[in-house]
Structure 1
């Protein structure tokens, strides 16, 4: 249960809605890992969460949406971290933003992201969705890097390359952690950015 679900600012109705949505998310992840994404139906998810099929569609337009539910908020927070630090070397800021992105996840959110990674690897449908999400991240990151580095370097190659490598470091950390839960995220991130030092 997240802090949001127990917040005193939420009324009873809003808390019930949030709890129902969280129950659907937990059920979906459990089934995706047990049966695989493609073999799991919306009916399966609703049944495990003990809600109706119609209730599922109050919160999600498709089962894919359960997995990418919080991506926009995560992406916005990541870009805000980068945008706030304009007077430091770009590689330091990128590395620190990746660290902060992972450190900012609570235990349940991290488990959900790692579960998504495991499920995604086994589903062509989700690989397509993950690619679309990655492109959104890359576009925003590249725009931010172009603005930050304007007038200082040749941006035609460097901005997209830095954006792509930053995403690769983050994705590699998640992929390796989905296989080995004992992985030291900080070590993977620092190793990835150490490769960029010559730039």
Structure 2
């Protein structure tokens, strides 16, 4: 795992974080720094042997500050800053684009940037998700409260529907399923990490076409 300072990584010109407003970037840089220290300690000591107090000490913050950014230790693995980036990019897509096509355009831009800026972090998080049951359970909860809820809101907004629209909710869950399918394909060794973006785009095209078999 890279030991380059999180601050330097977060300031890279091609970092997707640069798409966010300054106030959000500052907060998310702090989250990223805490996460980097946590992932390093998990690799060195093991997930179960690493405490929140140790993570906080490494990040030079108090445990109470840690919990302001991450409600649980599992969340320091599960959480990332890409949901607000994705939401912002989706809202910038042409209004007449169907929702899945809009999402394909966003991810074709975002995923290469994400892997270029954060590949080691992404892989470390996926490995922990695959190997730690509590993290795997929290991942599903976070998907529901984070990515799925964001997608439902933006899909409904673009369609001129209520935020709790059931059709938007169903489509958002279908998209989450596509993302999780690609993640498990990588964890099972079916695809290489470099093929993830293409697989996600293929799966979204398959979804948009009505899943013809």
TM over 0.5: yes
Q: Tell me the CA shift for residue 75 of structure 1.
A: 0.9
Asked which structure has the greater CA Rg, the reply is 1
Contact 2:89 2:106 in 1 (8 A): yes
Q: 2:48 aligns with which of 35, 38, 47?
A: 38
TM-score (norm 1): 0.68
Contact 1:94 1:166 in 2 (8 A): no
Unaligned runs of 5+ in 2: 1-7, 13-25
Distance 1:3 1:33, change over 3 A: closer
Q: Tell me the CA shift for residue 90 of structure 1.
A: 2.1
Task: Quote the residue 1:143 is aligned against.
Answer: 153
Paired residues, what number? 178
Distance (whole Å) between structure 2 residues aligned to residue 177 and residue 190 of structure 1: 15
Measured against aligned partners, the alpha-carbon deviations of 1:68-123 in whole angstroms (never above 9, x if no partner) come to: 45x2x311111111111112222211212233332232645232122111102222
Q: Tell me the CA shift for residue 192 of structure 1.
A: 0.5
Measured against aligned partners, the alpha-carbon deviations of 1:32-57 in whole angstroms (never above 9, x if no partner) come to: 2455422322455467x4x77xx352
Q: 1:171 aligns with which of 170, 177, 180?
A: 180
Answer with 136-145 or 33-42: which moved more. 33-42
TM-score (norm 2): 0.65
Are residues 1:110 and 2:119 paired? Answer: yes
Answer with 137-146 or 60-69: which moved more. 60-69
Q: 1:67 aligns with which of 61, 69, 77?
A: 77
Q: Tell me the CA shift for residue 181 of structure 1.
A: 4.8
Q: CA RMSD in A?
A: 3.5
Task: Quote the residue 2:132 is aligned against.
Answer: 123
